[in-house]
Amino acid sequence: MSHVALRGVTRVYPGKTPVHALGPLDLELAPGEFFAVVGPSGCGKSTLLDVMAGLASPSAGEVLFENRNVKGQVPDGIGVVFQEDASFPWLTVHDNIAFGLRRTGAPAAEVAAQVGYAIEFMGLKEFAQAYPAQLSGGMRQRVCIARTLVLKPRLILLDEPFGALDQQTRLLMGDELLRLWRETGATILLITHSLDEAAMLADRVGVMSARPGRFLELIATGWPRGRDSTIVASESFGRLTSRIWTLLRGESLRAMGHA
Amino acid sequence: MPNALIVRIAIVVIAVGLLELLCRLGVIPNFTMIPPSAMAQSLWKILASGKFSHDIAATLVNVGIAIVAAMAAGVAAGTALQGWPAARRTLDPLFATYYAVPMYAFYPLLIVIFGLGDFPQVAIGFLLAVMAVIINTLNGLDRVPAVLLKTARVHRLGPLAAAWRVRLPYAAPYVFTGFKLAVAYSFIGVIGAEFITSSRGIGYEISFAYNNFDNPVMYAMILFILLLVITVNMSLHVWEKRLLSRRRRA
């Protein structure tokens, strides 16, 4: 049984000259799977995320989340973390994280407990009463992840969440993401432009073509569930990334206009 | 104490001192202006006697009504217009020329519509203030990053909840600028209107004193307005700074 299923999903941006951004595209994610998407710039990765989250409707085809059609509205149980800073500058770290939980009408004691746990889990304890403006970019991204986490989403969609961070922070954030994945048991779809990140984190990597984005190949990484960033030094990691790159190179050239 | 503050205080003290000296020496004749110390004394006597308490209260209530109405209507209209681009495009020329219209020219019309009570004064204060709130609310809402709007949708907020919980809080510093202007414009509108036709209020009393060559009362009330408006605006400024300090990078 699949947790998420995409069937013939296509997205065309209407207009004088309609832009065919995505698909048709099929994908099945198993419950608790960590799936990464890599692809050349402008191949429709973010469009894919918007359609899966219900932030945009597919022009054709359907997205099923827990066997229910996702269309134009974000269903309960899906959490999204964006590349851009989405923390609320007028709220403290604590109130940022509590934002969604308070909306659900959960009792104050439970909100406090959940938020306290998320703050601890994401290493934000010293900053609970700070405002986002006082934090670094990486810290703010943690706040956004924690805000998603407390809602206990069963599917977490991440759109290049570490794109704005430096390489060392990215690797460490990758470790935290793996820890979070194991702890929550959620299904994760991670969009990234970093081949290393995809190869290190995911159970399977979907390699996308230049626009209109389609999957060229779905590569199983074969990593154990208890993996961490130290695998980047292993030999099979190198083989994996070179395989992904071989697939992507031609597409990236096409995306840059060198057909 | 910061240097700028010392300089600021020094400038005020020197200017007031100079004025005092010129009045006392007779360079400025007393029928033109009375010395600042006499203004203060006269104001103190007026306030202590409670002679104008009724007028001061009337003005403050009218200004207060104009401010609150302008804030509420301005934020509501700004939020609605931001979500309705077609209406906004249509009204845009009105926004651009609004402050070119001398609002006081409508005073006779307002009296015809609202009669001779406090209403025309409140209306002028409101009309002057409301556009500042609308324009600044629009400006703030235009700056809400797309990712925060998406975040609101991910949290499954409806249009009203998104406006109340995400869009307006983000726009708050801009809306606040609108509020500050609304306070200033409401004072200008109401007190100015009291000058024209009114039977009570601070503006009326100043105008009455002027017509009767009653310099001690006239200057006392001018001083009162100055102190009042400066105090209100300084308090708002301090409050704004405190709000903004959280949102700026440390």
What mean pLDDT do residues B212-221 have?
A: 94
Bridge partner list, A191:
A37, A159
Report pLDDT for B247: 82
> Is pLDDT of A173 > 90?
no
Contact list in A for residue B171 (CB cut-off 8 A) is none
Q: Which of A240, A234, A231, A237 is CA-nearest to residue A171?
A: A231
Q: Which of B248, B69, B13 is CA-nearest to residue A130?
A: B248
Domain ranges of chain B: 52-247
Tell me whether residues A90 and B155 touch, CB distance under 8 A. no
Query: With the C-alpha atoms ordered A132, A138, A144, A145, is the resulting torsion angle positive or negative?
Result: negative
Chain B interface includes A82 (CB < 8 A): yes
Question: Which residue matches tokens 């031609």?
Answer: A250
> Is pLDDT of A211 > 90?
no
Substitution target in B149, B151, B244 with the highest count of A β-carbons within 10 Å is B151
Domain ranges of chain A: 4-77+153-255, 87-152
ipTM score: 0.89
Contact list in B for residue A91 (CB cut-off 8 A) is 169
CATH superfamily for B52-247 is: MetI-like (1.10.3720.10)
Q: How far is B133 from chain A (nearest CA, A)?
A: 20
% of chain A residues with pLDDT over 90: 52
Structure tokens at B106: 């409508």
Tell me whether residues B169 and A90 touch, CB distance under 8 A. yes
Q: pTM to 2 decimals?
A: 0.85
Substitution target in B143, B153, B154, B166 with the highest count of A β-carbons within 10 Å is B154
d(CA A73, CA A4): 16
> Is pLDDT of A237 > 60?
yes
Report pLDDT for A258: 65
Contact list in A for residue B246 (CB cut-off 8 A) is 89-90, 131, 133
Chain B interface includes A163 (CB < 8 A): no
B155, B170, B246: residue with CB nearest A133: B246
Tell me whether residues B151 and A133 touch, CB distance under 8 A. no
A4-77+153-255: CATH topology is: Rossmann fold (3.40.50)
What mean pLDDT do residues B20-38 have?
A: 93
Instruction: Classify residue A228 by burial, with Cβ atoms within 10 Å: 0-12, 13-18, 19+.
Output: middle
Q: Where is pLDDT greater, at B129 or B198?
A: B129
A55, A84, A134: residue with CB nearest B153: A55
> Is pLDDT of A123 > 50?
yes
Report pLDDT for B250: 47
Structure tokens at B33: 């202006």
d(CA A244, CA A219): 8
Taking one residue from A and the other from B, the number of pairs with CB-CB distance under 8 angstroms is 55
What mean pLDDT do residues A100-117 have?
A: 91
Chain A interface includes B247 (CB < 8 A): yes
pLDDT tens string B133-149: 999 999 999 999 999 99
A80, A84, A91: residue with CB nearest B154: A80
Report pLDDT for B197: 74
A250-254, B70-74, B162-166: least confident range: A250-254
Contact list in A for residue B172 (CB cut-off 8 A) is 90
| pLDDT confidence band for B103 (50 / 70 / 90) | confident
